């Protein structure tokens, strides 16, 4: 085609060119992905989780390169706002954002206007006004990220809110388990420890059950949420996983077994939770020693699980309490892998939300 006819064609049909181009590009995200925020996994479908997992695979390849850096989110400003201390989650998010080429601003609440009494909503609005695009937030009160999402145009990622949810941790746990077991349908996953105060456990229960795993939770009765494992939770199985038709129920469909020796029988995966040692002061557990005796994930107990059982822990580990050192650093432990996968999974989440509906 000659130069002159080409340029006149292009000029004459500017709008059409624009339209065509988007059609011929690689397949857009599947239509079921319409998220702008990641607040919890309670309304995630297996499909949506699958998309995050596949995207994380591609991100993992990027992280394996000599120079792990891509320009995808160039020009996007991501703010990490942490009202609670954290090293691994925060570092993981910041690294993920940087690898994708985003600008990262990190704010510790202890060093900001929060100290002068600024409210959460005002802080979020200020961040929006200075040009942030995404907000990664951790707060000690359950629901705080929902407030931020409702009162601003920012895309919000929940990096842990109170006892409520820690969706990226659950996604990285799913990713880690999936990379060893493949399909999780009908796999038995045992979550052991302080379930009541664990946002990691809550998000994991939703995520694991959404992909069809059989989840058994185990721990001292004083650290087990009321109603869990009851009819309320079981009903959810036949509900539509997403969409406005979803009936709001607050408990995931899991089983409860307070006896670890029995719960661990035939398990494919055992996930130990961190025991917050200060809980003992509140009288919820009689003694650390008793907890260790009844709920530590020991080599002997793991022998009752399936051969090749996988051991996870969200960290930081109290070695010798939730799990003994030989298990934490043993061949079945995926603890280190969880941390590595965390960056890839968080990259996937940031990427998928960045292009989401505006």
Partner 1 sequence: MPESVILTQEDVRRAIVRIAHEVVENNRGCRDLVFVGMQTRGVPLARRLAAAVADFEHEEVPVGTLDIGLYRDDVPARGVTVEIKPSEIPTNIADKRVVLVDDVLYTGRSIRAALDALIDYGRPERIQLAVLVDRGHRELPIRADYVGKNIPTSPRDEVEVRFQEIDGSEEVVLISREEE
Q: At a CB cut-off of 8 Å and minimum separation 6, what does 71 contact?
A: 101
**For residues 271, 275, 279 and 283, what is the CA-based torsion angle, rounded to 10 degrees?**
70
Task: In angstroms, give the least distance from the CB of 53 to partner 1.
Answer: 12
For residue 274, the number of C-alpha atoms closer than 13 Å in the C-beta half-sphere is: 13
* Largest CA-CA distance found in the chain, in angstroms, rounded: 86
Task: In angstroms, give the least distance from the CB of 211 to partner 1.
Answer: 19
Q: Please say which residue, 255 or 337, places its beta carbon nearer to partner 1.
A: 337
Interacting positions 186-225 with partner 1 (CB under 8 A): none
Specify the stretch interacting with partner 1 by CB under 8 A; choose among 52-60, 252-260, 291-299, 335-343.
52-60
Are 206 and 42 in contact by the 8 Å Cβ rule? The answer is yes
Q: Please say which residue, 22 or 87, places its beta carbon nearer to partner 1.
A: 22
288 phi, psi to nearest 5 deg: -60, -40
Strand extents, DSSP E, 214-257: 214-218, 255-256
Are 104 and 98 in contact by the 8 Å Cβ rule? The answer is yes
Q: Please say which residue, 25 or 247, places its beta carbon nearer to partner 1.
A: 25
Q: Please say which residue, 52 or 264, places its beta carbon nearer to partner 1.
A: 52
Backbone conformation region of residue 245, classed left if phi is above 0, alpha if psi is from -120 to 50, else beta: alpha
Specify the stretch interacting with partner 1 by CB under 8 A; choose among 14-22, 212-220, 283-291, 303-311.
14-22
> Which 8-state DSSP code applies to residue 225?
-
- Taking CB under 8 A as the criterion, the residue among 22, 87, 282, 287 binding partner 1 is 22
CA distance 114 to 129: 17
137 phi, psi to nearest 5 deg: -135, 135
- Taking CB under 8 A as the criterion, the residue among 32, 34, 65, 266 binding partner 1 is 65
**For residues 282, 324, 343 and 346, what is the CA-based torsion angle, rounded to 10 degrees?**
-40
Q: Please say which residue, 274 or 346, places its beta carbon nearer to partner 1.
A: 346
Binding mask 114-133 for partner 1 (x = CB under 8 A): -------------------x
- Taking CB under 8 A as the criterion, the residue among 8, 20, 185, 303 binding partner 1 is 20
Query: How many CB atoms neighbour CB 2 within 10 A?
Result: 7
Interacting positions 98-117 with partner 1 (CB under 8 A): 100
Interacting positions 305-324 with partner 1 (CB under 8 A): none
Any contact of residue 346 with partner 1 (CB under 8 A)?
A: no
Any contact of residue 153 with partner 1 (CB under 8 A)?
A: no
Task: In angstroms, give the least distance from the CB of 75 to partner 1.
Answer: 7
Any contact of residue 58 with partner 1 (CB under 8 A)?
A: yes
CA distance 356 to 259: 44
Residues that bind partner 1 (CB under 8 A): 1, 6, 9-10, 13, 16-17, 20-30, 51, 54-55, 57-58, 60-62, 65-67, 69-73, 75-76, 100, 133, 351-352, 354-356, 358
């Amino acid at each position: 085609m000659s130069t002159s006819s080409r340029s006149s064609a292009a000029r004459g049909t500017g709008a059409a060119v624009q339209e065509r181009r988007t059609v011929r590009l690689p397949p857009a995200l599947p239509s079921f992905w319409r998220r702008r925020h990641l607040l919890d996994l309670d309304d995630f479908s297996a499909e949506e989780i699958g998309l995050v997992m596949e995207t994380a695979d591609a991100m993992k390849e990027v992280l394996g390169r000599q120079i792990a850096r891509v320009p995808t989110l160039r020009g996007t400003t991501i703010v990490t706002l942490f009202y609670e201390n954290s090293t691994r989650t925060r570092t993981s998010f910041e690294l993920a954002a940087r690898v994708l080429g985003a600008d990262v601003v990190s704010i510790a609440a202890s060093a900001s206007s929060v100290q002068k009494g600024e409210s959460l909503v005002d802080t979020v609005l200020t961040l929006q006004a200075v040009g942030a695009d995404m907000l990664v937030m951790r707060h000690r009160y359950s629901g705080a990220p929902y407030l931020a999402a409702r009162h601003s145009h920012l895309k919000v990622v929940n990096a842990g809110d109170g006892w409520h949810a820690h969706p990226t941790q659950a996604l990285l746990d799913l990713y880690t388990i999936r990379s060893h077991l493949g399909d999780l349908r009908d796999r038995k996953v045992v979550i052991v420890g302080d379930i009541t105060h664990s946002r990691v456990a809550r998000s994991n229960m939703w995520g694991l059950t959404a992909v069809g795993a059989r989840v058994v939770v185990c721990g001292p009765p004083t650290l087990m949420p009321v109603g869990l494992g009851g009819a309320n939770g079981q009903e959810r199985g036949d509900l539509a996983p997403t969409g406005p038709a979803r009936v709001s129920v607050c408990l995931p469909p899991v089983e409860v077994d307070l006896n670890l020796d029995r719960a661990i029988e035939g398990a494919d995966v055992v996930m130990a939770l961190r025991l917050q040692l200060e809980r003992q002061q509140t009288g919820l557990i009689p003694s650390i020693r008793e907890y260790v005796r009844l709920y530590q994930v020991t080599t002997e107990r793991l022998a009752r699980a399936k051969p090749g059982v996988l051991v996870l822990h969200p960290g930081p580990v109290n070695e010798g309490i939730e799990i003994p050192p030989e298990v934490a650093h043993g061949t079945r432990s995926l603890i280190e892998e969880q941390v590595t996968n965390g960056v890839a999974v968080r990259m996937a989440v940031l990427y998928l939300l960045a292009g989401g509906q505006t």
